[in-house]
Amino acid sequence: MAKHEGRKKPPSRGGEFEETRELVELSAEVRPAEQSGAYVLAMMLKFDDRMNRELTGQFTDDESPEALSDELVEYGFVRPRDHHRLVDLIGQAMALCRQSRATVDEESSSSTAINRDRVISNLFDISGRNELPLIFVKGDCVGGVEDLKKLVENGVLKEWLADHQYDLVVIGGGSGGLAAAKDAAVAGKRVAVLDFVTPTPLGTTWGLGGTCVNVGCIPKKLMHCSSLLGKNLADARNFGWKYGDEVKHSWTDMVTAVQSHITALNWNYRVQLREKAVTYLNAFGTFVGSHSIKATDKRKKEQIITSDRFLIATGLRPRYLDVPGVKEYCITSDDIFSLPYCPGKTLCVGASYVSLECAGFLRGLGLDVTVMVRSILLRGFDQDMANRIGNHMQTVEGVRFIYQCIPTKIERFKDGQPGLLRVTAKKEDGEEVVDEYNTVLIAIGRDALTDALNLDKVGVQTNAKNKKIVCYSNEQSCTTPYIYAIGDVLDGGLELTPVAIKAGRLLVKRLFGLSSNLCEYHLVPTTVFTPLEYGCCGLSEEKAIEKYGENNIEMRILGFHLLGPNAGEITQGFAVGLKLKATKHDFDQLVGIHPTCAEVFTQLTVTKSSQQELKKTGC
């Protein structure tokens, strides 16, 4: 490591340096050590060349936080009695820069090849900011001088620097929140998880694990598989299998098996938290102070807990139509997977993947299913593929579609389980449509219910339209630096369980100095589990044209889209190729596995613009 020649005196007081110095004297109610510490961090990051030497790897081994603190005392910037607190604060700043430098070291063949601009750029990446000074409190970036002033003026800094019960409190017991909580506990941190499920209008509730485990990915995939088994039975006779003429499906047996599996997963999560010494509270959390949250359990018993940091991972809940009878008589995906009776003739309202997936497995189980959509299918996905899905479900699976139509009234026509509902709807051209269904499932989208968290109390900014939490690229709240958000509740993020898990684990590593890697929100593979599965990764055709132009042809693959059996299994592997910037030539050079559906990607010759027929007649 390079030696530096001597130590420079701090810059003369004036200009921006003077502005930072004034911060020390800004507020009498904050203890001197806290003021001095904030000042020292700002000074080190912008006004003193010591941090530049730290960033470029030029610190000598004897330049410790203790030595720097001694020097600041010697210069008269800090009172001797504040020395011990400054050591901690300086150490945090130096550690963060070393962490940033270590990331660059991994990419560099030689430590002497470190580029200061790259290191600072990396520091900007992990902090979500793009200018100096960067001031950190307890490892969290608060921004610059003006941001720190606000924290001093509103009393938040004083409370922040106090001791709290926990290092991290996670609000939300879904996949992302639990992953973050467990990793933080393994890192030796004091962690608590708050999880509470507000019952649906029909009274449905569930256990620990969030949407994915209880009312999302897991039960959806199990029911999808159940419907595929029925199709396999229908095909079995053509392959020599003999069985009776009548094959029946039992909805109650399927639901019992699905719920039994979910209950086991709920219990496993509880065990994992206990083994890692994570405090679990089956309680609803609302902020009551800058670092305080009120936890209220189902018996209305309340307790106040405090923490250095909070991670919000509360996910989303189904959105209801503002139409008479919807909340009284309709169900959502929160209800369907534990429904104790067969839903019978079903109307799925919405063009979302949830609506199409539910319609698909219900039809596969032999039910009469209709999908009512207001506009296009699968908004945000490749529209060519979306239309192919709709066409397949309609012509092959027998699902009925009603386009450009929305319900205007839901009435109970007959009691019972499932009973009978009369649905009145209106098409875009004004035509009224009336029909009767046993069950109406609403799947028009999902909302963040963050209003109930009392985020205004701590100044957390949310998107006015969707109530999701607005954050920097490092999942840190743009307005409250000790609060973070991951998963579906993060504004601009991807509503996918694996993304929430990855983001949660990487966030914990950054918060506690184990890594500086950010979660990558591009080139994320996903699958829609319609009867014929749809897997994709990268840009849709529409987005590719929007970004690169219709005829801007290059050899790099921008998007991968597959409609076929086991699309999820196939897409997962090809996604690695896209992450590694695979080209069409790479795919052409790959030898396919025969006979498989995936081998077609090693033999692509027909372009969409050629309008040639896609047809395979042999090996």
- Same domain assignment for residues 302 and 273: yes
Three-class secondary structure of residue 398 per DSSP: coil
Whether residue 68 sits in one domain with residue 84: yes
Instruction: Give the domain-ending residue among 127, 160, 193.
Output: 160
CB 424 within 8 Å of CB 407: yes
For residue 169 the two structure tokens come to: 């409190």
Do you know the residue count of the chain? 619
Are residues 297 and 437 both part of a single domain? Answer: no
Q: Among residues 26, 248, 54, 260, which one has the least CA distance to residue 149? A: 26
**CA 282 from chain center: how many Å?**
22
Q: Evaluate whether residue 352 is within a structural domain.
A: yes
- Nearest-CA neighbor of 417 among 251, 263, 246, 260? 251
> Whole-prediction pTM value?
0.83
The residue among 425, 446, 467 that closes a domain is 446
Q: Is residue 171 located within the same domain as residue 302? A: yes
Is 185 in the same domain as 254? yes
- Report the pLDDT value the prediction gives residue 2, as an integer from 0 to 100: 34
- 202, 318 Cβ separation under 8 angstroms: no
SS3 content of the chain, % helix, strand, coil (to 5): 40, 20, 40
* Residue 437 shares a structural domain with residue 308: no
Looking at the structure, do residues 299 and 429 belong to the same domain, yes or no?
A: no
Residue numbers of the domain that contains 406? 326-446
Contact 524, 499 (CB under 8 A): yes
442 plus 470 within the same structural domain: no
**194-248 pLDDT, tens digit each:** 999 999 999 999 999 999 999 999 999 999 999 999 999 989 989 999 988 888 9
The predicted pLDDT at position 54 comes to 44
The CA distances from residue 136 to 4, 46, 78, 169, in Å, are 26, 13, 18, 20
Q: How many C-beta atoms lie closer than 10 Å to residue 217's C-beta?
A: 17
Would you please indicate which residues are annotated as catalytic (active-site) residues? 594
The verdict on residue 455 lying in a domain is yes
Alpha-carbon gap, residue 391 to 401, rounded angstroms: 10
Q: Please tell me the total count of domains within the chain.
A: 4
Identify which of 509, 517, 475, 510 has the alpha carbon closest to the alpha carbon of residue 492.
Answer: 475
Strands 191-194 and 283-289: unpaired
DSSP secondary structure string for all residues of 235-299: HHGGGT----S-----HHHHHHHHHHHHHHHHHHHHHHHHHTT-EEE-EEEEEEETTEEEEEETT
39 part of a folded domain: yes
d(CA 286, CA 458): 10
* Same domain for 200 and 107: no
Residues 442, 464 within the same domain: no
CATH code for the domain of 291: 3.50.50.60
Question: Which residue in 558, 570, 555 sits closest to 600, CA to CA?
Answer: 570
Q: Is the dihedral of CA 218, 223, 227, 232 positive or negative?
A: positive
| Assigned domain for 10 exists | no
User: What was the pLDDT predicted at 533?
Assistant: 98
CATH number at residue 566: 3.30.390.30
The predicted pLDDT at position 65 comes to 63
231/290 same-domain check = yes
Residue 198 included in any domain: yes
Give, rounded to a whole angstrom, the gap between the first and last alpha carbons of the chain: 61
Domain identity same for 306 and 453:
yes
Task: Collect all residues with Cβ–Cβ distance below 8 Å to 62 and sequence separation of at least 6.
Answer: none
In a domain, 1, yes or no: no
Q: Is 435 helix (H, G, I), strand (E, B) or coil?
A: strand
At residue 219, the pLDDT reads 99
DSSP per-residue codes, 362-383: HHHTT--EEEE-SS-SSTTS-H
**Which residues of the chain have a pLDDT value below 50?**
1-62, 77, 100, 103-114
* 4 domain-assigned: no
In a domain, 618, yes or no: no
- The predicted structure's pLDDT at residue 92: 58
Of the three residues 160, 191, 208, the one that is the final residue of a domain is 160
